[in-house]
């Protein structure tokens, strides 16, 4: 990623006052006002509405020339005309090169998610395999997120399933450890993984450091696509052990060879000879777009995933694919080779931008023959099939949402459903949870958790907990989006609870002045059996659905997802509470002094009750530290 200080921060915002309502003349006037001071050099521009919300992010080789196009109203497509009519200000950032502008554009699109840009709508991060390099016996593990740990990363994989399959193969083939350092340091005898021949047990000295390093080198060769080399090495070792009549060792090598052969046979895609490549195929139908991605590393298939970018209506395929690639590689390191099913108009520019981001040469090609062409044809078939499935699911989902609207007497199919649930144990570690669903399914990036923290909320009071959650949620909505233009306001609130819970929620909404959002409660009925759910309306009406109703299945899924998210949030909070200590709250007490106090007194409770003189006797604790601890737990004692 190109850091912000690589750009010339010649940034300014230009605005023209006018009506907040869409007005093409006012929008053009705002743009013309910007043109007066624009340079003819590369950069990025942001178009903003009257409230300062970003409508569109664009890049340009020459800012003045590119922005001037928006004033030629007669030549603008209808979609762009709507955007210009909403524009009231612009923000300009100049860059050194057009490639830098393309990189910055992708960063800003990911940050602001403007409604007129093509958006890569994907909440999942890509998993990698990490071979740690900070230990004498490096650990192999699944890794997500920022790559800060020292070691070698292999990926991306399409999903955690592919990573686990590969990790399983690495354990069978190379007997690398997968345990944490804490577990490793406290072993007195081998664990179960060693007994089932999945680990070489370096924790108890069953393998030397040089021999483990050799296994590690073989694993790196395997992940680097040199599985044939590893196969030959294992075959030679098996033959040598058999020749020496060490049949037990020969059997170990035989089992490892079997594992390698099995892994090679489970590759759904034969990519031998392709090396490292990311393959993208484009499909378009009924105004929707699907992009199928295959990840090939070292001639091995590391999985595939379908993407469905948003805001693609009336956008040329070339622009969609370029925007997708730049946003996709915002979080994922680009492969040395990118294969596409079509030519890009700005191929050289995209190559230059991705090469700058990767710090090495990145090539974009359209395969014409051979293995690469065969792989691309397979990717194209998958893209079409994935888009067809998506459209079929969308049709079914739309039908279900219409039935939800009919059931709960909504004005139309809900575009945004918010489901709320609480979780606690005997009033401890209380949390509230909100999930969001819409026509495209669950919107996991918009889930929210609420730590219950108001002193007036009594422990275990579900009604008070729900009141706090809803007041915080809708107070923020009223503050940030009073005009309800962001799409963040729900069309339906679904509450996991019965008549009392719904009445309490309805009262809260009335007190906040939110009268137009329907509230429905879902409870499991008298026997708490799935399939006999009761639906509760604020006016006291109740209803049930047939046990085979698709609407019932859908509402059950929403309720269960909210319950899962609430329970998971509660467990995480409870686990964190188990490892916290009152000493963490004492100013100036770091891990070393905290450990010294606990080693001396045994428990945090004993430290809290200790006299000042006793605290001063603890090893490694100065008089000033002892006084700070004592004053923290005994305020006003002086």
For the segment 114-143, the average pLDDT, to the nearest whole number, is 84
pLDDT of residue 321: 93
Cα distances from 385 to residues 118, 284, 290, 306, in angstroms, run 22, 11, 9, 10
Burial 1-12, CB ≥16 within 10 A → b, else e: ebeeeebeeeee
- Residue 268 has a pLDDT of 46
Question: In this predicted structure, what is the pLDDT of residue 13?
Answer: 47
Most confident of 15-19, 68-72, 602-606, 611-615: 68-72
Q: Average pLDDT for residues 607-621, to the nearest whole number?
A: 80
Q: What would the mean pLDDT of 302-329 be, rounded to a whole number?
A: 89
pLDDT above 70: residue 410: yes
Mean pLDDT, to the nearest integer, of 463-472? 88
**Where does the pLDDT of residue 637 fall: very low under 50, low under 70, confident under 90, or very high at 90 and above?**
low
**Global confidence as pTM:** 0.69
Tell me: the pLDDT tens digits for 468-508? 889 989 888 888 888 787 788 999 999 988 888 888 888 88
Selected residue with higher pLDDT from 56 and 331: 56
Report residue 282 CA to chain centroid gap.
23
Least confident range from 118-122, 133-137, 265-269: namely 265-269
For 39-53, the three-class secondary structure string (H helix, E strand, C coil) is CCCCEEEEEECCCCC
Per DSSP, helices labelled H in 305-369 are 317-328, 347-358
pLDDT for 273 equals 62
- Give all domains of the chain, ordered by start, each with its CATH number: 4-112 (3.40.1440.10), 128-265 (no CATH), 277-388 (3.30.420.340), 417-566 (3.30.420.340), 582-633 (1.10.150.20)
- The mean-pLDDT minimum among 158-167, 555-564, 579-588 falls in 579-588
| pLDDT exceeds cutoff 80 at 605 | no
| 581 has pLDDT over 50 | yes
SS3 assignment, position 94: strand
Angstrom distances, CA of residue 122 to CA of 96, 192, 465: 31, 38, 31
- Ranges 229-233, 236-240, 271-275: which has the least confidence: 271-275
CA angle 634, 636, 638 (to 5 degrees): 95
Whether residue 10 is predicted with pLDDT greater than 50 in this model: the reply is: no
Lowest mean pLDDT among 56-60, 73-77, 335-339: 73-77
**Which one of 217-226, 456-465, 508-517 scores highest in mean pLDDT?**
508-517
Please spell the DSSP secondary structure of 593-632, one letter per residue.
Answer: HHHHHHHHHSSHHHHHH--HHHHHTSTT--HHHHHHHHHH
Query: CA–CA separation, 129 vs 330, rounded Å?
Result: 19
Confidence (pLDDT) at 270: 55
């Amino acid at each position: 990623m190109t850091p912000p200080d690589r750009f010339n921060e010649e940034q300014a915002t230009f605005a023209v006052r006018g009506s907040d309502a869409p007005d093409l003349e006012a929008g053009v006037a705002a743009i013309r006002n910007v043109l007066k001071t624009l340079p003819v050099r590369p950069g990025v521009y942001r178009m903003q509405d009257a409230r300062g919300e970003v409508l569109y992010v664009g890049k340009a080789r020459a800012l003045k020339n590119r922005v001037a196009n928006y004033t030629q109203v007669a030549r603008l497509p209808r979609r762009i005309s709507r955007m210009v009519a909403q524009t009231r200000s612009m923000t300009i950032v100049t860059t050194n090169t057009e490639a830098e502008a393309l990189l910055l554009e992708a960063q800003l699109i990911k940050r602001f998610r403007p409604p007129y840009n093509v958006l890569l709508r994907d909440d999942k991060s890509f998993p990698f395999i990490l071979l740690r390099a900070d230990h004498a016996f490096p650990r192999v593990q699944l890794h997500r997120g920022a790559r800060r740990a020292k070691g070698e990363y292999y990926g991306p994989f399409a999903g955690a399933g592919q990573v686990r399959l590969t990790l399983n193969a690495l354990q069978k083939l190379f007997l690398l450890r997968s345990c944490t350092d804490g577990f490793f340091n406290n072993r007195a005898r081998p664990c179960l993984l060693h007994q089932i021949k999945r680990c070489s047990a370096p924790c108890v000295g069953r393998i030397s450091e040089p021999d483990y390093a050799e296994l590690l080198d073989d694993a790196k060769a395997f992940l680097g696509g040199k599985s044939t080399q590893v196969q030959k090495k294992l075959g030679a070792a098996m033959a040598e052990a058999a020749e020496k009549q060490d049949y037990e060792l020969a059997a170990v090598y035989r089992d490892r060879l079997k594992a390698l052969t099995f892994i090679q046979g489970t590759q759904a895609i034969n990519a031998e000879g392709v090396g490292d490549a990311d393959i993208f195929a484009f499909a378009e139908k009924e105004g929707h777009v699907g992009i199928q991605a295959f990840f090939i590393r070292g001639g091995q298939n590391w999985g595939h995933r379908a993407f469905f970018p948003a805001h693609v209506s009336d956008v040329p395929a070339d622009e969609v694919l370029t925007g997708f690639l730049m946003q996709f590689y915002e979080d994922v390191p680009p492969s040395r080779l990118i294969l596409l099913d079509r030519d890009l108009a700005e191929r050289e520019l995209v190559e230059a931008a991705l090469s700058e981001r990767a710090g090495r040469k990145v090539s974009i090609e359209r395969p014409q023959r051979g293995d690469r062409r065969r792989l691309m044809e397979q990717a194209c078939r998958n893209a079409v099939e994935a888009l067809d499935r998506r459209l079929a699911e969308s049709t079914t989902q739309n039908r279900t949402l219409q039935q939800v609207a009919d059931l709960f007497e909504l004005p139309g199919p809900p575009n945004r459903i918010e489901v709320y649930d609480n979780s606690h144990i005997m009033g401890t570690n209380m949390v509230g949870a909100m999930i969001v669903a819409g026509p495209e399914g669950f919107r996991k990036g918009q889930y929210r958790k609420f730590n219950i923290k108001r002193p007036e909320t009594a422990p275990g009071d579900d009604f008070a907990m729900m009141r706090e959650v809803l007041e915080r949620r809708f107070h923020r909505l009223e503050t940030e989006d009073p005009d309800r233009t962001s799409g963040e306001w729900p069309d339906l609130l679904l509450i996991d609870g019965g008549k009392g819970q719904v009445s309490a929620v309805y009262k809260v909404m009335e007190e906040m002045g939110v009268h137009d959002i329907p509230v429905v409660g879902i409870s499991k009925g008298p026997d708490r059996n799935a399939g006999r759910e009761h639906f509760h309306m604020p006016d006291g009406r109740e209803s049930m659905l047939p046990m085979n109703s698709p609407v019932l299945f859908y509402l059950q899924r929403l309720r269960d997802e909210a319950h899962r998210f609430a329970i998971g949030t509660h467990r995480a909070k409870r686990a964190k509470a188990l490892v916290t200590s009152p000493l963490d709250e004492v100013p100036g007490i770091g891990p070393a002094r905290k450990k010294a106090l606990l080693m001396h007194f045994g428990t945090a409770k004993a430290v809290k009750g200790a006299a000042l003189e006793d605290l001063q006797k603890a090893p490694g604790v100065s008089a000033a530290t002892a006084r700070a601890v004592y004053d923290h737990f005994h305020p006003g004692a002086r």
